[in-house]
Structure 1
Amino acid sequence: MRPILLLSAMLLCLGTAAVPTRAAEPSSARLDHILLWGRGIDQATSVMAVKLGFQVRPGRDPGGVANRYVRLADGSFVELLGVTRTDPTFDPGMKEDRQALKGGPGSRTFGFRSTTLDAVYGRLKKLHYAVTPFFTGPDGAKPGWRLFAFDRAPLSSNTFFIDYAADYAPDQFDPANAGDYRVTREHPNGARELSSIWLVSGDAESDRRQLEKMGFGHAVPVRLPQLGAAGFCVPVGPTVLLALQPDGKGVAAQTLASGGPRVLGVSFGVVDLGRAQRWVERGYERSLATYRGVSGESFLAPTRDDLGLSIEFHAMVPGAAACAGAGI
């Protein structure tokens, strides 16, 4: 991916040679967050808060592109992005992102979090990945984050690796604000974790091979009939990355045909599935059916028109292994 895209988005907050087929799995890695464009920042905020029941936190608005956050108790989050003026300042990567989304909502970028970032960087560089230099933020005056990205995207959607200082909290640096930190990660819908990110492309096997090469092996075949998709469930620590492609007619085929490879959806674990279901049913004024998904009992919120991707809620199952519910 173009590193400037990631640098710009993070500053708002905060092709390879032949190698062995299996690399050592990056230590303490998990999925961290996605960058989600709305039709506008207030539209995206309204959907996430009113229709879906998330608490949305303020961000910044430099250059006419604002961001806001949905932060989860597991440390993951969704970064909402939206244009706030007619002449926003886009860097080339951001402009490319907007062009691919045709100015509409959706996501094309997500991040891995790792507590051994230097080791992961060195391993990927030895494997001849086109990794960028490290970027740091937010301003060097306080503990912050470090990340690196890729000059050439190894996966069908753009990605990066990030880590945070132990006491970094972008919505409150003062340790005395522990109560504030806690309540900003409590949501009316009961969401506690970002458990999976779903990628869609025309070649799920290619993404699987790249993920294995990057150190994320143990893929399990999976089908998502509710989306008309099939591919692989790949464990990333306690979280799951789904590498999917269309499987007949359905949302996956429609999404790929209309906009190309991207983040097809995300899944959130909730403490009370019934409460989350009732909230979303009120928000969208329709009844929603549950099904047995990769993460257990789940339902799908009808967010594709609003947000450009699907959002799944599932009941949290303590101790459940990643991809335990997958398999064709």
Structure 2
Amino acid sequence: MRLILFVSAWLFCLGAAQASTSTPAPSTTTRLDHILLWGRSIDQVTSVMAVKLGFQVRPGRDPGGVANRYIRFSDSSFIELLGTTRPNPTFDPGMKEDQQALKGGPGSRSFGFRTSSLDDIHRSLQVLHYAVTPFFSGPDSSKPGWRLFAFDHAPLSSNTFFIDYAADYAPDQFDPSNADDHRVTREHPNGVRELTSIWLVSGDAEADRQQLEKMGFGHAVPVKLPAVGAKGFCVPVGPTALLTLQPDGAGLAQQVMASGGPRILGVSFAVNDLERAQRWVERGYERKLATYRGLSGESVLAPTQDDLGLSIEFHAMPSSSTPCPATSL
């Protein structure tokens, strides 16, 4: 069974027993792993990602009329694409809730943290009285794959889960018997190398920041994103950053909140050659795009809201290993 079938269902599973442990595990053991991105159909979202944006899209499966495909990166992160392939597909509860919130359109409302401290974080969150689910694992085979847990009630404005992978889980990790395939499937025509940040938008960025701090992800930095008309906080999550944002006057963030409510507003990627990525997007969308100074340096914003229900930002490879700036205010 595909990962999404487990993740989306477990976002609504029932509670976990209490346990005792210390404070939450340090965020240095954790990073952002992937988002679940719905298209109007699987072919539509695949075409946008591949033709207009220059990503390499890998095959997935199609049980019950809901197909998935993958875009994998050299830092081990990825995007899971989702879309229906027939009328009246079989939705599990999580899929149904996402589709209702997205009104059947494109967009993303769920993302995952990857951690090597899965058990410690699970115990810590129980002590803090978060309604976490039991552990679930997959795929259905005798070989170790992945384990995850989610929440009965989402603590953030978008749904989230924590996941870890077995060291030899080939679909998401390095397979020593096929190094060339592992490398080639993570090389993209647009030059993307790394997932650097996920942007959450809601009506209360401070509430998300407080929840993240309670969960063990502190050191938030106040930020503004004039390119999308948003302000809030940059929260470091290992080598990646989670932005908790709210509208800041007129702009894209305000439009998204007015039309669809809280969700993932955007995703940032580091590229080898920003001019190459910019040219690819300009050809795909048949328009000129201006660069700007973003949180990660020189950046360009692809005009993807209508196609994908979120924004995609490309920026040059960062010169600093710090995921959040000292300040952008």
Coarse TM-score class (shorter-chain normalised): over 0.9
Structure 2 gap segments, 5+ residues each: 11-22
Residues 139-191 of structure 1 show CA distances to partners (whole Å, capped at 9, x for unaligned) of 13222110000001000000000000111121799632111011000000000
Task: Indicate the SS of the match to 1:248.
Answer: coil
TM-score (norm 2): 0.92
Query: How many residue pairs align between the two structures?
Result: 316
Give the Cα separation in 2 of the matches to 1:10 and 1:165. Answer: 22
Provide the residue aligned with 1:244 in structure 2: 245
Confirm whether residue 234 of structure 1 aligns to residue 235 of structure 2: yes
Residues 21-50 of structure 1 show CA distances to partners (whole Å, capped at 9, x for unaligned) of x85524410000000000000110000000
Give the Cα separation in 2 of the matches to 1:325 and 1:89. Answer: 46
Provide the residue aligned with 2:18 in structure 1: none
Relative distance call for 1:290 and 1:151 in structure 2 (3 A) is same
Residues 222-270 of structure 1 show CA distances to partners (whole Å, capped at 9, x for unaligned) of 0001101000000000100000000001110110111110000000000
Assess if the C-alpha contact under 8 Å between 2:24 and 2:121 holds in 1: no
C-alpha displacement of 1:300 = 0.1
Residues 52-89 of structure 1 show CA distances to partners (whole Å, capped at 9, x for unaligned) of 00000000000000000000000000000000110200
Give the Cα separation in 2 of the matches to 1:5 and 1:56. Answer: 17
Give the Cα separation in 2 of the matches to 1:171 and 1:322. Answer: 23
Provide the residue aligned with 2:88 in structure 1: 87
Note the 1:315-326 alignment, pairs <5 A: 315-324=316-325, 326=327
Assess if the C-alpha contact under 8 Å between 1:293 and 1:325 holds in 2: no
Assess if the C-alpha contact under 8 Å between 2:193 and 2:272 holds in 1: yes
Confirm whether residue 271 of structure 1 aligns to residue 258 of structure 2: no
| Letter paired with 1:120 | I
Provide the residue aligned with 2:6 in structure 1: 7
Residues 192-215 of structure 1 show CA distances to partners (whole Å, capped at 9, x for unaligned) of 001000000000000000000000
Task: Indicate the SS of the match to 1:43.
Answer: helix
Assess if the C-alpha contact under 8 Å between 2:29 and 2:238 holds in 1: yes
Provide the residue aligned with 1:198 in structure 2: 199
Provide the residue aligned with 1:222 in structure 2: 223
Give the Cα separation in 1 of the matches to 2:270 and 2:236. Answer: 16
Structure 1 gap segments, 5+ residues each: 12-21
Provide the residue aligned with 2:310 in structure 1: 309
Give the Cα separation in 2 of the matches to 1:265 and 1:27. Answer: 23
Assess if the C-alpha contact under 8 Å between 2:151 and 2:160 holds in 1: yes
